Amino acid sequence: MAKFTRRDFLKIGGSAAAAGAAATVINRTRGGTALAHPPSEFHFVAGGEETFVPTVCTLCPSGCGIVARVVDGRAVKLEGNPVHPINLGALCPKGQASLELLYNPDRIKGPMRRVGERGQGGWEPINWETALQMVTDKLQSLRANGKPERFAFLYGETRGQMRPLIERFTQAIGSPNAISHDSLNIEASKLAYRMTQGINDLLAYDLENTNYILSFGASLLEAGRFPQRMIAGLSYTRRSRPVRSKFVMIDPRQGVTGAKADEWIPIKPGTDAALAMGIAYVLISSNMYNKEFVENYTFGFEDFEDEQGNKHQGFRNYVLRNFDLKKASEITGIPSGTIARIAGEFATNPPAFAIVPHKGGLLNGSANGLYTAMAVHALNALLGNIDKHGGMLVQRYPACPGWPAMASDRLAEKGRQAERVDGAGTRFPLAQHAYQAVAERVLAGEPYPVETLFLYDANPVYECPGGANFIEAFQKIPFIVSFASFLDETAQYADLILPDHVFLERLQDDFVEGLGYTGVALRQPVVKPLYRTRNAADVLIDIAHRVGGPVAASFPWGDFEELLKYRLQDVGTDWDGLKKLGVWSVPPYEFTDWGAKGWTDVVGRDRQRAPRDGRFDFYSREMFCYLGDADESRLKELGISVTGDAVFMPHYEPVTLDGEEKEYPYHLNVITLMSIGPHSYNANLPTLQEISGMAALTTWDSWVEINPETAQELGIHHDDQVWVESAQGRVRTRARIMPGLRPDVINLPYNQGHTAIGHWAKDRGVHGLDLMKSHTEPLTGLATFTNTRVKIYRA
């Protein structure tokens, strides 16, 4: 009898990835017959006792492929899927720790109804039929009373069909209020891409073919959107090519990414836009930009005259007149010689690209966040690195059949026209989502009361600055439903919990993102559900059918699997093939020549008001369509200090910090570590707690990072207990003296200091967001994370 080992599996994965591989797989069985299978099949069944099932991890946004080894119906080991293009068989500690999520004793075991006061811990188990009838009655009542817009749905990380399903469900009820947490992270960069390139999505990078990478605060190897993909790509450019790329990291904190970079430039927090404009000054004044691309495929570089005969200043003259090296150096704290050198290296080592951060310094409470992202991306346009080898790529997605038209429903149509409860598109004119603003708006009764709230992968009490405002706001919402798998800081204030499966029990699709080319993966159950939980997607379809009428008619699928089969029928493989491999992708990335057929899918595709003419906007016509009529007072209300043509071009906006500098001299930087990551429930996995903070020699706890110069001035020593205090409050933790940060900055790690979730997460460490006040940037609706001043002193 052949013995099938992990080493054998990895060998099989390699042969499966190669075209025309002829290897076979021999499964180990106990009392069964050894069966040979084609190498592309990973869903093995042998003797009914041991199987290998591919799925997709959810513990970070990378979406890495996993293969689960299942013995006697229990998942016992996880490895990377060798044919998944994101991780190619590798698997980070979060993926390896996922079994602790599946078998976690703190999981919610079935539907629960609140007993007594919210937040006091009183719950009683109920059956699914009772729970779903409660929800159905509430939604039917809203519609019967002609107020469907008073339903809101807050949701977190969603990939594949889950996001459009949530949006469709909300719209079918008759509400515009499907509100994503994107305003806490990626919305700033997506908005910048739309205002310049006309693409409302995160762009990808051709890492393997680039020679120079300029990263503005993007912590690629720790907390970026696709850390596994970035690790693989950067490793290739630095070890697997004859020409080694150069990687420059610009950030107030060095961190893992800066330590691995060729050069780390410690910039003053919130001044990245001024640096990007200073680099642009060198490129333009030295004629080191791509003239062919700029002259033929951009708008607003040169001064121009509009259709009414009004003259406008272009990007070239605006940069040359306002952002010379001296000014850029004064703002950023970076020597002018360094700025000039970096600009020269960037221009003379093609292909090169500049990376826009997906969070970090962009979320500083001012319009500077959007303009920073626009300024950084303008550097890519100056070099013509749009859809070029070694440059920026537009993410492609599988071709899916269109969603069927919503059933005719005048009530729902009227409700969908109401103002959104988060103020996106109205109070915050450029916002698509303003997740953190919901609390403030609910408390003010704007624009109407919320009567029913759904929460999916949403923990705003913990993940938003000033999250306690949500606790107060919840008192004004009569009925709250959470799909949480753990009783987190927000779920404990719900009235009803309909617990979702964890990902190892769940069926979902997952679009492959970060490589540019098309791909789809299947997150499928590796074991039967351990408890009385249900896939939230199936629950939404079930509720829609129960509500009945046009709501039910808008969901013609019996369950989520049927919906997935409908939407994925044209991806390039059949359903059985997708289940066997766990992923289907269509490499390589197909570049589009400038101006060729399909170019407007690369530049201009998602513009809503400006021309989709294939021109990159240095002068944002999309933004002009929104703000062209705004007078000076209106611009000030929106946090924009400039007037005239500068409003529509990248520029530097000063950041207003919370706290007087004299009393609070240090800039607070709350950092996300790769080890635990952004998801609240990760803090309740003991393996991740054990490895988090190993570089700081602190695990299972929080710490604060202090520059040695600052520590010496304050008389603080390594491992001292210290208070970190802002105008909003203070927290006590231990000091870690580290040279890899600016003297005027202190760092606090994120995802500790929980007050709920489970016994491994609760009451452990401190929560840096407790030091911040709730604020929403008035132009874009973005949350505020990086505008808080603090002081620090020994406890």
Look at residue 133 in the predicted model and tell me its pLDDT.
Answer: 98
Look at residue 6 in the predicted model and tell me its pLDDT.
Answer: 39
Look at residue 220 in the predicted model and tell me its pLDDT.
Answer: 82
pLDDT per residue as tens digits for the range 52-110: 999 999 988 888 999 999 999 999 999 999 999 999 999 988 999 999 999 999 999 99
HSE-CB of 432 using CA atoms within 13 angstroms: 18
Tokens of residue 207, six digits:
């890492």
Tokens of residue 308, six digits:
């009414």
State yes or no: pLDDT of 28 exceeds 50.
no
Return the H-helix or E-strand segment holding 540. helix 536-547
- The full DSSP string for 727-783 is TTEEEEEEEEE-SSB-TTEEEEESS--BSSB-TTTBT-S--GGGGS---B-TTT--B
Q: Spell out the long-range contacts of 685-692 with Cβ–Cβ below 8 A and sequence spacing 24 or more.
A: 685/97, 685/100, 685/101, 685/104, 685/760, 686/100, 686/760, 687/93, 687/96, 687/97, 687/100, 688/93, 688/94, 688/97, 689/760, 689/764, 691/93, 692/749
Rounded mean pLDDT of 585-601? 94
Least confident of 238-252, 263-277, 506-520, 732-746: 238-252
Tokens of residue 316, six digits:
């070239």
CA distances to 270, 272, 350 from 373, rounded to whole Å, are: 12, 9, 21
Q: How far apart are CA 108 and CA 484, in angstroms?
A: 8
State yes or no: pLDDT of 769 exceeds 80.
yes
Look at residue 359 in the predicted model and tell me its pLDDT.
Answer: 64
State yes or no: pLDDT of 35 exceeds 50.
no
Q: How confident is the model at residue 193 (pLDDT cuts 50, 70, 90)?
A: very high
Rounded mean pLDDT of 408-426? 97
Least confident of 132-146, 158-172, 569-583: 569-583
pLDDT per residue as tens digits for the range 453-485: 999 999 999 999 999 999 999 999 999 999 999
From the list 674, 590, 578, 576, the residue with the least C-alpha distance to 83 is 578
State yes or no: pLDDT of 451 exceeds 60.
yes
Rounded mean pLDDT of 576-591? 93
Handedness of CA 689, 692, 696, 702 (dihedral sign): negative
Percent of the chain with pLDDT over 90: 80
Rounded mean pLDDT of 574-587? 93
Look at residue 11 in the predicted model and tell me its pLDDT.
Answer: 38
| Annotation: CATH topology of 112-186+409-585 | Rossmann fold (3.40.50)
HSE-CB of 116 using CA atoms within 13 angstroms: 7
Q: How confident is the model at residue 240 (pLDDT cuts 50, 70, 90)?
A: confident
Contact 793, 723 (CB under 8 A): yes
Tokens of residue 792, six digits:
């620090």
Return the H-helix or E-strand segment holding 25. strand 25-26
Q: How far apart are CA 57 and CA 64, in angstroms?
A: 5
State yes or no: pLDDT of 349 exceeds 70.
yes
Look at residue 121 in the predicted model and tell me its pLDDT.
Answer: 83
Q: For the chain, which residues make up each domain, given as ranges?
A: 6-41, 112-186+409-585, 203-394, 666-794
Q: Which residue has the higher pLDDT, 692 or 262?
A: 262
Look at residue 241 in the predicted model and tell me its pLDDT.
Answer: 82
State yes or no: pLDDT of 37 exceeds 70.
no
Percent of the chain with pLDDT over 70: 93
pLDDT per residue as tens digits for the range 696-719: 788 899 999 999 999 999 999 999
Superfamily of domain 203-394 in the CATH hierarchy: Dimethylsulfoxide Reductase, domain 2 (3.40.228.10)
* CATH code 2.40.40.20 for 666-794: yes
Round the average pLDDT of the chain to a whole number and report it.
90
What strand order describes the sheet that includes 263-265?
263-265, 246-250, 212-216, 352-355
Q: How far apart are CA 721 and CA 711, in angstroms?
A: 12
Q: How confident is the model at residue 780 (pLDDT cuts 50, 70, 90)?
A: very high
The β-bridge relationship of strands 178-180 and 151-155 is parallel
Geometric angle at alpha carbon 70, from 66 and 76, rounded to 5°:
80
pLDDT per residue as tens digits for the range 206-225: 999 999 999 998 888 877 77
In the block, tokens 């790769």 appear at 674
Q: How confident is the model at residue 530 (pLDDT cuts 50, 70, 90)?
A: very high
pLDDT per residue as tens digits for the range 145-180: 999 999 999 999 998 999 999 999 999 999 999 999
State yes or no: pLDDT of 34 exceeds 70.
no
Q: How far apart are CA 290 and CA 614, in angstroms?
A: 17
Rounded mean pLDDT of 322-330? 96
Contact 389, 418 (CB under 8 A): no
Chain centroid to CA 368: 20
Contact 401, 564 (CB under 8 A): no
3-state helix, strand, coil in the chain (%, to 5): 35, 20, 50
Name the phi and psi angles at 81, rounded to 5: -80, 115
Look at residue 327 in the predicted model and tell me its pLDDT.
Answer: 96
Q: How far apart are CA 186 and CA 190, in angstroms?
A: 6
Least confident of 305-309, 311-315, 393-397, 677-681: 677-681
**How big is the chain by its Cα radius of gyration, in Å?**
26
Q: How far apart are CA 215 and CA 83, in angstroms?
A: 29
Tell me the pTM: 0.92
Query: What three-state secondary structure class fits 264?
Result: strand
Look at residue 361 in the predicted model and tell me its pLDDT.
Answer: 61
Contact 4, 28 (CB under 8 A): yes
Chain centroid to CA 666: 27
